[in-house]
């Protein structure tokens, strides 16, 4: 699971960095996404990948396969979105 997530994150990191370099040609780039991807790679290296930063529980295999840069389990992510300004 960790190896697959690392591979997915590195591919996304490469794609985002390429977009950043191409940005001068009008390609849309989301710098926050690159920050999240790189933070997930650091969590893998530090051995804390897959743990929710809010409740400390497991994020869940299916969620990590869908969103490998996820910082929060689905329950905590939903609660954070519900409390976000502008809702």
Domain positions in the chain: 2-83
> pLDDT band at residue 13, thresholds of 50, 70 and 90?
very high
E-strand ranges in the chain read none
The residues pairing with 51 across neighbouring beta strands, listed in sequence order, are 58
- Residue 87 has a pLDDT of 59
Query: Do 10 and 41 meet the contact criterion of CB atoms below 8 Å apart?
Result: yes
CA separation for the pair 49, 36 (Å, rounded): 13
Contacts of 36 (CB under 8 A, 6+ apart): 69, 71
- Residue 72 has a pLDDT of 97
In degrees rounded to 5, what are phi and psi of residue 14? -60, -45
Domain 2-83 bears CATH identifier 3.10.105.10: no
- Residue 18 has a pLDDT of 86
């Amino acid at each position: 699971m960790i190896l697959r997530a690392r591979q997915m994150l590195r591919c996304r990191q490469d794609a985002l960095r390429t977009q950043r370099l191409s940005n001068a040609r009008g390609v849309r780039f989301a710098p926050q996404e690159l920050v999240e991807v790189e933070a997930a790679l650091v969590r893998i290296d530090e051995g804390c990948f897959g743990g929710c930063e809010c409740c400390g529980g497991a994020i869940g295999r299916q969620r990590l396969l869908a969103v490998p840069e996820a910082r929060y389990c689905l329950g905590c992510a939903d609660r954070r979105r519900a409390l976000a300004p502008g809702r």
